[in-house]
Amino acid sequence: MESLAGAEFAPQTTYLNTASSGLIPARSVAAMKAALDDAAAGGRVTDMAFESVEETRAAYARLAGVPARRVATGASVAVYAGLIATSLPPGAEVLTAEGDFSSLVNPFAVRRDLVLRSAPLEELADAVRPDTALVAVSAVQSADGRIADLDAIRDAARAHGARTLVDLSQAAGWLPVSAGADDFTVAIGFKWLMGSHGTAFLTVPDDLGGLTPVFAGWVAGEEPWDSCYGPVAELARSARRYDGAPAVFAYVAARHSLALLHELGTEAVHAHNSALADRFRAGATGLGHTCLPAPGSAIVSVPGLGEAASRLAKADVQVSARAGNLRAAFHLYNTPADVDRLLELLPGV
């Protein structure tokens, strides 16, 4: 893995911050630059956009384990969470995990006629009740890397007739996922999927989920080029009806980033990332720190060290501060030497 990753990445820092933003592979950067040059020369950017979006959609569908017709492409998890929020009836109860990421939670909070309730992540399955219409949860928590027990949450939701919405933003790309097991999933493309800002994905059931495509424009038409003026005559007969107008150059890059993940395989990436995270946990524990429990996660958070992130940055080690914790995230371009560099500097911060 390291030989292939080395051909695609050349970070100038010890970069351990994929949970904030992933590094973009060289192949993706080259494709984006070529597309920009082509656009500046008067090339057919729209044709390029459609081709890139469809290849990206298909590649993400393979990664998520669903048919491409069940994948919508856009630019924001919050927009897709908002789409689902607007489709709920007044009075519907939405259950979330305490402290989950705002892009998933807030679109439901701003609908004042919904009932928004939260519970600790570890108790979420037990908190589902007959009045619950939707359980919305991140597969991996952004702040501390905890992995949700999705099987238990799904079982509880089905037992009470509730639907599930799972945010895969901190999971897809390193943790094997199965989007078909949930009613809806969302994911951003610029973290573990190593794309640029401007890519996001929504998966829906085979029946498309009954959502009202409130932001549907011409690209959401079954025949987009026949849908440019006035009301769209026929919405796409697939999840493409929920597409947003594509950020062209972001999708040009995304198709190549996803191709790299397919070449490596999610299982191999998972094993690599987990081993690095375990190395850091063991080293930090040896230094007298107690990492927040998140077994098996590629994200490690250390309480009380959040302020050290800025000082580590001055030593060219990139981590992040989240909820007062130092958060390190390990991906396929990282090595044991990166982990050891962070551990070497911890006593001094």
CATH of the domain at 188: 3.40.640.10
For residue 71, the cross-strand partners are: 203
Same domain, 163 and 218: yes
- Boundary (domain end) residue, out of 263, 286, 309: 263
Residue type, 55: E
Same domain, 148 and 65: yes
Find the distance separating the first CA and the last CA of the chain, reported in whole Å.
31
Q: What's the CA gap between 66 and 264, in Å, rounded?
A: 19
What does the pLDDT read at residue 4? 60
What is the extent of the structural domain holding 15?
2-23+264-348
Same domain, 236 and 269: no
Q: Tens of pLDDT along the chain (349 residues)? A: 665 667 899 999 999 999 999 999 999 999 999 999 999 999 887 777 789 999 999 999 999 999 999 999 999 999 999 999 999 999 999 999 999 999 999 999 999 999 999 999 999 999 999 999 999 999 999 999 999 999 999 999 999 999 999 999 999 999 999 999 999 999 999 999 999 999 999 999 999 999 999 999 999 999 999 999 999 999 999 999 999 999 999 999 999 999 999 999 999 999 999 999 999 999 999 999 999 999 999 999 999 999 999 999 999 999 999 989 999 999 999 999 999 999 999 976 6
Residue type, 288: G
Q: What's the CA gap between 276 and 270, in Å, rounded?
A: 10
Q: 260-299: b or e for each residue (b if 16 or more CB lie within 10 Å)?
A: bbeeeebeebbebbbebbbbbbebbeeeebebbebeebbb
Instruction: Name the phi and psi angles at 214, rounded to 5.
Output: -70, -20
Strands 163-167 and 184-188, by their bridges, are parallel
- Boundary (domain end) residue, out of 236, 263, 290: 263
CB 309 within 8 A of CB 6: no
Same domain, 229 and 308: no
What does the pLDDT read at residue 349? 62
Whichever domain contains 286, its CATH number is: 3.90.1150.10
Same domain, 281 and 150: no
- Boundary (domain end) residue, out of 263, 297, 322: 263
What does the pLDDT read at residue 7? 87
Backbone CA torsion sign across 170, 174, 175, 179: positive
CB 101 within 8 A of CB 81: no
Same domain, 53 and 173: yes
Same domain, 168 and 268: no
Minimal CA–CA distance to 95: which of 124, 71, 68? 124
**Domains of the chain: total:** 2
- CB neighbours of residue 341 within 10 Å: 17
Same domain, 188 and 309: no
Same domain, 291 and 249: no
- CB neighbours of residue 29 within 10 Å: 16
Local structure of residue 317 (DSSP, 8 states): E
Q: What's the CA gap between 67 and 196, in Å, rounded?
A: 24
Instruction: Name the phi and psi angles at 79, rounded to 5.
Output: -65, -45
Collapsing DSSP states into helix, strand and coil, what is residue 194?
coil
pTM of the model: 0.96
Same domain, 112 and 44: yes
Same domain, 146 and 78: yes
